[in-house]
Amino acid sequence: MTQAESLPLLPKPIRAERREGSYRVDATTQLSIQTSGSEDVRRLSSAARSTLNLPLPLAQGSAGIRIEVDAAQENALGREGYRLSVTAQGVCVISAQPAGAFYAIQTLRQLLPADLSAGSSGWQIPCVEIEDRPRFAWRGMMLDCCRHFWPLSFVKRFIDLIAMHRMNSFHWHLTDDQGWRIEIRKYPRLTEIGAWRRESLVGHLKDEPRRFDGQRHGGFYTQEQIREIVAYAADRYINVMPEIEMPGHARAAIAAYPELGCVDYPLEPWTLWGISGENTVNADDSTIRFFQDVLAEVVELFPSKFIHIGGDEANKDFWVNNPRIQSRIRELGLKDEHELQAWFIRQMDEFLTDRGRRLVGWDEIREGGLAAGAVVMSWRGPEGAIEGARSGHDVVMAHTKYTYLDHYQGPPETEPLAIHGFTPLEKAYAFDPIPPELTAEQARHILGLQAQLWTEYIAEPSHAEYMIFPRACALSEVMWSQPEGRDFGEFRQRLVPHLARLKAQNVNYRPLDPYPA
Ligand code: TNX
């Protein structure tokens, strides 16, 4: 009997034991699924078929692979946990919810050879007893589709890859200064004008002189395509949380509808990266209504309980000197720019709360008073998380130093151009998402964590994959596995066969550095 370490499983399950013997699955192997919803039978059977690359016809009663979803198991296994037994007689999965069975299928796949493309002559599965459940309920990844636009096919591949790592949340960054990427029926200029920028920066923002490629760049997702992605993700037990940025990072919207802005000259979708005061919207009643109209369409498209409204990097220094903003602050009887931002966010929070949703925002939403049910996405450091959790708000950890996959992962001289930073694999793996300052009670507000791919300097799918992997593998383990006994050397041993699986899917991951260095 060996422990989880020697099995090539990633993220590492709570308990995994190798047993004597093996079981063979092949083209004749049948699948049985016991669960109440026919939708889940479809989802789980198609997940099992595509993951194992076998036809797996459905059988009633005794099948080679049996999946049983039984809500009564929730005490033992949690909402997303599962038990997976492979014996000489067959494969048996038990879970309380269908999502748990989906994760069992992901784990089962890791017991098979790396490359399953050879066809269905069959695979030998080692006998195991695995019991597993995630440490955190929020296991997410963000994709910035604004700085560079990603085709639907890549968005789907991104979802497939995060599902493989047992993540359950896709944060879709849909609006920013450089592009508005979601069709809004009421305001067509958002995509007619806002989805297209004149050109893109070549090289780094700090390079002098700045150079541009002269190529129009853009694109957007129609409402039909958005529904397709939401359904695609749901089939993989992934929630899609959209992000609509306000009051900052809104230049593409202002380019389309200048009355939203704080300046009286026209703006274009931005061709630079960074922060600019011009890129914030004003707080007029009509602007509040505009964004609420946008959110009204957003909640129709996305069943997600959580809706992200951005809230980061609204330039308050610019607001200090902006007469329009200053008179609005006085009109509303507010103290300062921070209170104005808080007031703005509160209008959105009330709107979303009335519709049964919860607002999520980057940690700046705490400044000037935080809306009651809001969730803080803590990116600038642990402070936002600590203060948020202490004041009873739920928090998602998205700490820049550990979870930003646009940062360098090796010495800059040997890496493709990146924004800045240094987050090698080992550092991402060392992330401890629970700040030690919190009591156990407060720590319950840490819902989980999220990795982010900002794409200012990333324009191609293969480059995106290079930045994501293998750091997302390390972070998936921080999201899912228990922290006791965590050891980078041991993780790295399991990562080697895992990378072979990614390679078989043509994922362009960054090769590992030698270890020890
Ligand atoms: C900060 S994280 C931003 C993004 C940038 C990112 C680059 C956050 C809430 N805002 O707009 O793309 O840094 O790393």
Whether 176 is a known active-site residue: answer yes
Whether 498 is a known active-site residue: answer no
Phi, psi (5° rounding) for residue 74? -60, -40
Q: How many residues does the chain have?
A: 517
All residue ranges of the chain with pLDDT < 50 are: 1-2, 4
Token pair of 329 as six digits: 């602050």
From 145, 204, 312, 455, give the residue whose CB has the most ligand 1 atoms within 8 Å, as the site to mutate: 312
pLDDT of residue 241: 99
> Which residue of the set 176, 235, 349, 363 is catalytic?
176
Over its C-alpha atoms, the chain yields an Rg (Å, rounded) of 24
Cα 452 to ligand 1 centroid, rounded to whole Å: 9
pLDDT of residue 370: 84
Cα 280 to ligand 1 centroid, rounded to whole Å: 15
Query: Which run of H or of E encompasses 310?
Result: strand 306-310
From 399, 454, 471, give the residue whose CB has the most ligand 1 atoms within 8 Å, as the site to mutate: 454
Rounded Cα–Cα distance for residues 459 and 150 (Å): 8
Residue identified by tokens 């200012």 is 456
Cα 79 to ligand 1 centroid, rounded to whole Å: 32
Name the amino acid, one letter, at 380: R
Cβ burial, residue 61 (10 Å; 0-12/13-18/19+): exposed
Task: Give the residue whose CA is nearest to atom 10 of ligand 1.
Answer: 312
Those residues whose C-beta lies under 8 Å from the C-beta of residue 383, and which sit 6 or more positions away, are 363
pLDDT of residue 398: 98
pLDDT of residue 120: 61
pLDDT of residue 121: 79
For residue 244, give the nearest of 167, 299, 203, 189 by alpha carbon: 299
pLDDT of residue 1: 36
Helices 461-468 and 152-164, packing angle to 10 deg: 20
pLDDT of residue 311: 95
> What residues are in contact with ligand 1 under a 6 Å CB criterion?
312-313, 362, 379, 404, 406, 419, 454, 456
End-to-end CA distance of the chain: 32
Rounded Cα–Cα distance for residues 162 and 103 (Å): 12
Tell if the pTM clears 0.75, that is, is over it. yes
Rounded Cα–Cα distance for residues 471 and 492 (Å): 11
Backbone CA torsion sign across 105, 106, 110, 112 = positive
pLDDT of residue 119: 66
From 177, 272, 313, 407, give the residue whose CB has the most ligand 1 atoms within 8 Å, as the site to mutate: 313
Q: Is there a contact between 49 and 55 (Cβ–Cβ < 8 Å)?
A: yes
Whether 249 is a known active-site residue: answer yes
> Which residue of the set 129, 313, 437, 490 is catalytic?
313
pLDDT of residue 516: 87
pLDDT of residue 2: 44
For residue 474, give the nearest of 509, 445, 434 by alpha carbon: 509
Cα 381 to ligand 1 centroid, rounded to whole Å: 13
Those residues whose C-beta lies under 8 Å from the C-beta of residue 153, and which sit 6 or more positions away, are none
pLDDT of residue 125: 97
Q: Is there a contact between 166 and 480 (Cβ–Cβ < 8 Å)?
A: yes
Residue 371: HSE in the Cβ half-sphere, 13 Å Cα cutoff: 28
pLDDT of residue 517: 77
Mapping DSSP to helix (H, G, I), strand (E, B) and coil, where does residue 123 land? strand
Alpha carbon of residue 154 to chain centroid: 14
Q: Is there a contact between 211 and 269 (Cβ–Cβ < 8 Å)?
A: no
Cα angle 127, 131, 133; round to 5: 145
Cα 145 to ligand 1 centroid, rounded to whole Å: 13
Per-position DSSP letters for 12-80, written without gaps between them: PPSEEEEEEEEEEE-TT--EEEE-S-HHHHHHHHHHHHHHHTS---B-SSS-SEEEEE-GGGHHHHTTT
Token pair of 307 as six digits: 């809706």
Rounded Cα–Cα distance for residues 158 and 142 (Å): 10
> Across 26-167, where does the E strand assignment appear?
31-34, 65-69, 82-87, 90-95, 123-132, 138-144
pLDDT of residue 371: 78
Token pair of 302 as six digits: 């996305």
Alpha-carbon distance values, 108 to 92, 156, 491 (Å) = 10, 22, 19
Q: Is there a contact between 168 and 139 (Cβ–Cβ < 8 Å)?
A: yes
